[in-house]
């Protein structure tokens, strides 16, 4: 049987709420950013100052949790708003407020059902002769360039869940990770050993990157580190 916390975090990590996307567009970099400090996670502000002390094994961005927003327990629905963040300490998951106070402890009985329609991504990675490019059409003429948005030239490509019309795309070239847009414009330089394919771009307008594959940090689309 799956551990209850794993089930909770699995649900949270698959949620992509339209309200969160809109918030990210209005405020590209959040004022509370998870950061690992001496093997524990806390939060820093945009200037790098610690605003919530590091004591957690997992710390997520302040964002909506639609399972709590739709909870059968009306008293806990408030904790599903974007004013709270999900953290984990000693295998127990909580919601905390922006003062760092634990205001809610997760219970499986409180989890509601997230009802949302799924829209197929417009753009997808396409492999040709061992290299990857980008396409938006279902039918591709492999003999030319015109049907490719980005002709296959990368070792790997992964389209991030974001703006359907203008997605950010993780690409690998010369064994290094970077970010490009649908026009093949380089957003992040190809200098990283890894870029996580998670929800940080959607929820916070930040990419989670690493130079060594062990130590991760966040950068914005101008490659500014946080």
In a shared domain, residues 67 and 133:
no
For the chain, how many structural domains are there in total? 2
Alpha-carbon distance of 117 to 207, in angstroms, equals 25
In a shared domain, residues 83 and 8:
yes
User: 168-221 pLDDT, tens per residue?
Assistant: 999 999 999 999 999 999 999 999 999 999 989 989 999 999 999 999 999 999
In a shared domain, residues 96 and 152:
no
Question: Among the three residues 110, 134, 164, which one is the final residue of a domain in this structure?
Answer: 110
Strand partners for 96: 85, 102
Report CA dihedral (12, 16, 22, 27) to the nearest 10 degrees. Answer: 50
In a shared domain, residues 86 and 142:
no
> Is 225 within the bounds of a domain?
no
Whole-prediction pTM: 0.80
User: 108-154 pLDDT, tens per residue?
Assistant: 999 999 987 777 889 999 999 999 999 998 888 888 788 999 999 99
> Is 159 within the bounds of a domain?
yes
Which run of H or E residues covers position 11? helix 4-13
Residue 88 structure tokens = 């984990």
Q: Which domain holds residue 171?
A: 124-219
In a shared domain, residues 130 and 206:
yes
Q: How many residues does the chain have?
A: 226
Question: Among the three residues 110, 135, 152, which one is the final residue of a domain in this structure?
Answer: 110
- What sign does the CA torsion over 107, 108, 109, 112 have? positive
In a shared domain, residues 172 and 211:
yes
Give the Cα-Cα-Cα angle 17, 9, 117 (nearest 5 degrees): 30
Alpha-carbon distance of 208 to 195, in angstroms, equals 6
């Amino acid at each position: 049987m799956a551990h209850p916390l794993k089930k909770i975090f699995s649900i949270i990590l698959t949620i992509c709420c339209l309200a969160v996307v809109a918030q990210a567009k209005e405020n590209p970099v959040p004022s509370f950013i998870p950061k690992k400090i001496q093997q524990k996670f806390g939060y820093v502000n945009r200037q790098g100052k610690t605003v919530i002390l590091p004591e957690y094994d997992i710390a997520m961005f302040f964002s909506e949790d639609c399972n709590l927003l739709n909870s059968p327990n009306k008293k806990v629905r408030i904790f599903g708003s974007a004013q709270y963040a999900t953290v984990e300490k000693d295998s127990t998951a909580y919601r905390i407020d922006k003062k760092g106070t634990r205001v809610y402890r997760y219970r499986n009985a409180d989890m509601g059902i997230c009802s949302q329609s799924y829209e197929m991504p417009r753009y997808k990675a396409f492999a040709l002769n061992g290299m990857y490019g980008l396409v938006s059409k279902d039918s591709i003429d492999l003999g030319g360039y015109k049907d490719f948005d980005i002709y296959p030239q990368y070792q790997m490509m992964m389209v991030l869940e974001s703006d359907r019309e203008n997605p950010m795309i993780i690409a690998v070239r010369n064994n290094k990770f970077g970010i490009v847009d649908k026009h093949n414009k380089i957003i992040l330089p190809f200098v990283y050993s890894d870029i996580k394919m998670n929800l940080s771009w959607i929820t916070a307008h930040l990419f989670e990157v690493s130079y060594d594959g062990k130590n991760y940090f966040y950068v914005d689309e101008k490659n500014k580190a946080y």
